[in-house]
Structure 1
Amino acid sequence: MVKKFLIMMVVSLFVLTACNGETEDEEVETVTSVETEEVTVDDFSVTKNFTARSMPNDQAPVMAEAAGEVEEVFVSRGDEVEEGDVIVEYTSQYGLMEIESPIDGLVQELDAKEGRMVTTEEPQAVIIGADPLVFHFQLTATNRELISVADEVDFEISQANEEGEAEITYIASTAGENGLFDIEAEVEQPDDAIPSGLTAQIKIDDVIETDTFIVPTEAIVERGADQFIYLVEDEQATRIDVDVISMQSAYTAIESKEEDMLQEGDAVITRGQLTIDDGQTVRIVEED
């Protein structure tokens, strides 16, 4: 019995020694997979949104030259007409007369009906010019300084599922009674896709910092009072402490706390940065 116990002890010691040897020999360095984007240098802007109203660029009443009775109406509300198109034909003391459209546009209002009397005081129709379409909005004095006539601004109209660029055509030189400046922008729309009277969002960029380093906001790591990013250099994560100049949801303007530690084109880690440390080995993978 004693002999058997001694044999088991020897075997146990041998196995334990072998296991310890394997543990020491199998120390494997951890490699973390990360995703990166390039650091860019550009002007950093904040996009400001302003509410505007879409309006016709012109509005013209269609008037009769003499009183009479309507014989025939050639258009309907919503029809597109050109300058000179006959809108109404009527009989007056001067014989058969015509009322023509004074501008290119759309028939917004139509009061003329066959057999109805016409006068020289009330319009028989109203034509609006829909191309170009005008956006009207107002800005404070500070925001007015962000734009100039002929600038292009982005617009979005969710009601019509339309977006694009409009050109600033008018900036009031004096403020109204509410202290705001009237602004107008125009967009060409030969197909009249955007109706008048809709609410639009006008987007104007306000440059916060010029020629600054820009990184994805998700690359910023915050630990206590420290803010930093990780760059990939020679397959290792390198911590760079930074000051945040301005942060937006997608991108952030930063500057390095140490001179020449950050360069345009550097690979900044945007995925996996929360689980690594300075000097850790990393492997760059492409975004799914």
Structure 2
Amino acid sequence: MHRKILAVIAVVAVVVVGGFYAFKSLMPPPKEAGTGPVYSTAKVIRGDISVGVETSGPLNPNRGGGIMVPYNMEAQGGPASYIIEEVLVKEGDGVKAGQPLVRLRAPGLQGEIESLEQQLETAKKSLAAKLNVEPHEIYGVDPSAGITLRAPVDGRVIGLKVKEGAEIKQGDIVARVVDDSKFRITARLNPGEFEIAKDCRKAFLRFNQFEGVVEGKITDINTEPVVEPSPGSGEGSEGGDALYQYVYYMTIEGDNPGLVQPGMTVQVGVAKGENTRPEDPEVLWLRFPTQVEGYSVEETITSTVEARVTKVHVKDRNRVKKGDAVISLTGSDVSDMLEEELEKVRELEDKLRRLYGQYELLEIKSPMDGVVANINAQPGRTVQAGEWLGHIYNAEDMQMWAQVDDVDVLMVKQGSPVKVTVDALPGKVFEGKVMHVATMGKDMSGVTRFEVSINVKGTPELRPGMQARAYIEAGSASGVLLVPVEAVFEEDGQPMVEVLQPEGTTKVVRVELGLMNDRYAEIKSGLEEGWAVVTGSSADILPGQRIKSNEILPGTGGQQENGEGQGDGGSPQGKGN
């Protein structure tokens, strides 16, 4: 019985307690005493701010060049086709301007060049011989002045007989120029004399035309004997047959004392020693006398054209220097002939120059610094003049096409600096500059967009078509007053900020704004560093809402109070309060 009574009491107790707590929860909370709104504030700080526009778009090279088979418009008659001999690069290779890319071969070009070179050399030598000048001097000659025959060597003019006004033919010998300071003779030795004279170097010469002995120098002795008739033998000898003997030839040169002339008879003596004198008995006087053949240096002046002698510059037997004028020839025929041959030389040189140009183009070179985008060339393949084999782009000078909306377009100016990044190269930032901003927008699915062209200073790592992100700088300021943008509101068209007073009241202050991004606004006037500006209050909370954190309360060290901890896109760098 007692157990039943205790159980009933327990059930009643549970019902009473549960009903009390249910009633308590259904009743509204008691009203708190009115203490006014609670404010969220941030201090006015001094720092840096930057404003910009973010956009994206593809990268493409600003400059490019082709890999092309040479085609020289001036080289008429040059090769129309070539054979690829060697390919020196592949797709993706970095190249420098002027670097060889492909080597070609042009069959027959080398042979044509060699043939023209020979023709040109012959033409120049022929003209130079007519003008009596060196081949390289023909370009300075005036054809209207005719031809001047000049002394080929230093010496004396011999046999000059022509007169002014005389007609001479091509090949006529006009005169000789001889160096008569030295003369030359050829002596004959029998075998016995040869054995004695073969090692000698000094000779004595006696002339019938004057007294005395002239020393000579043996310059050459022929070691191979020659069969000749003996002096005095011949048809008059017994049996009517000439007698023959072996002889050796010896060449002697001597200094002319001024009396020796060609044709003089001379007796030759061979000195066995350097100190031998003409009267010494060991001198070997040769059996056969000989004659002076001529002078050591002797050149002829021959007419190179058929013309009239207009001037004789020297007299016979005069001494001249090499290059001195001897006679001048002129006439319309001479002028025409010289002009014609000079023009022929010029034509050959011009044609050869064009062929040289074709030969140099057998090596296709890069037109610029860059990267090989593609190349279609295989050794042995025949290609035509002007055919494209590939393309080169310059990744260091890229262009980015992007779009901005009508809200941001006024912030984008031509010349504005740009920071560009690409996902493929994390951590790398490329410098850029706005080159053009469209003045007319385009409707893109109901949104007006304006095209922007940006030049990007890249690196060889970039590739055409890469998607890039750009941050276009629209302005920046350093060491300026900053407040969070949520502290700024507009009243009667004027920017305002609510300042929290020390006693807990607020005051609305009119401010002058500068730059503004999505986090901060620059204050040019109206506030001072360190002031607390209202960014929100409990009065703004709807009925039934509660403040779940005290981070917005003043003095709690929240991030809105000191303005730190901002992310990218215009974060100020606070400089202390």
Report if TM-score (shorter chain) is over 0.5: yes
* Contact residue 501 and residue 507 of structure 2 kept, 8 A: no
> Using the alignment, how far apart are the partners of 2:521 and 2:407 within structure 1?
23
What are the residue-to-residue correspondences of 1:18-29 with 2, within 5 Å?
Answer: none
- Percent identity at matched positions? 24
Structure 1 residues 122-131 or 112-121, which shifts more?
Answer: 112-121
Q: Name the SS of the counterpart of 1:160 in structure 2.
A: coil
* Contact residue 370 and residue 460 of structure 2 kept, 8 A: no
Q: What is residue 553 of structure 2 aligned with on the other side?
A: 275
1:72 aligns with 2:86: yes
1:217–1:148 distance in 2 versus 1, CA, 3 Å: closer
* Contact residue 146 and residue 206 of structure 1 kept, 8 A: yes
> Using the alignment, how far apart are the partners of 1:60 and 1:54 within structure 2?
17
1:214–1:153 distance in 2 versus 1, CA, 3 Å: same
Pick one of 428, 432, 444 that aligns with 1:166.
Answer: 432
* CA displacement 1:234-280 (0-9 Å, x = unmatched): xx87756579999865335689xxx95x314546699965234xxxx
Give RMSD over aligned pairs. 4.7
1:127: how far off? 0.7
Q: What is residue 64 of structure 2 aligned with on the other side?
A: 59
Larger radius of gyration: 2
* CA displacement 1:89-143 (0-9 Å, x = unmatched): 0112335711111111110011111222222353112111112222123456775
Q: Name the SS of the counterpart of 2:368 in structure 1.
A: coil
> Using the alignment, how far apart are the partners of 1:48 and 1:91 within structure 2?
55
What are the residue-to-residue correspondences of 1:116-135 with 2, within 5 Å?
Answer: 116-135=381-400
Q: What is residue 39 of structure 1 aligned with on the other side?
A: 45
1:78–1:37 distance in 2 versus 1, CA, 3 Å: farther
What are the residue-to-residue correspondences of 1:123-272 with 2, within 5 Å?
Answer: 123-139=388-404, 144-161=409-426, 162-171=428-437, 182-189=451-458, 191-204=459-472, 214-216=482-484, 249-252=518-521, 262-266=527-531
* Contact residue 175 and residue 182 of structure 1 kept, 8 A: yes
Q: What is residue 307 of structure 2 aligned with on the other side?
A: none
> Using the alignment, how far apart are the partners of 2:504 and 2:431 within structure 1?
42
1:44–1:78 distance in 2 versus 1, CA, 3 Å: closer
> Using the alignment, how far apart are the partners of 1:283 and 1:147 within structure 2?
40
Q: Where in structure 2 are there 5+ consecutive unaligned residues?
A: 1-39, 71-79, 111-358, 489-495, 536-548, 566-577
> Using the alignment, how far apart are the partners of 1:241 and 1:44 within structure 2?
27
Task: Pick the structure with more helix per residue.
Answer: 2
* Contact residue 81 and residue 101 of structure 1 kept, 8 A: yes
Q: What is residue 110 of structure 1 aligned with on the other side?
A: 375
Structure 1 residues 112-121 or 239-248, which shifts more?
Answer: 239-248
> Using the alignment, how far apart are the partners of 2:441 and 2:528 within structure 1?
45
> Using the alignment, how far apart are the partners of 1:228 and 1:60 within structure 2?
59
Structure 1 residues 150-159 or 265-274, which shifts more?
Answer: 265-274
**AA of the residue aligned to 2:370:** G
1:89 aligns with 2:94: no
1:144–1:229 distance in 2 versus 1, CA, 3 Å: closer
* Contact residue 62 and residue 127 of structure 1 kept, 8 A: yes
> Using the alignment, how far apart are the partners of 2:94 and 2:424 within structure 1?
22
Q: What is residue 26 of structure 1 aligned with on the other side?
A: none
* CA displacement 1:204-239 (0-9 Å, x = unmatched): 3567xxxx963246889xxxxxx9877696xx8775
Instruction: Give the length in aligned residue pairs.
Output: 232
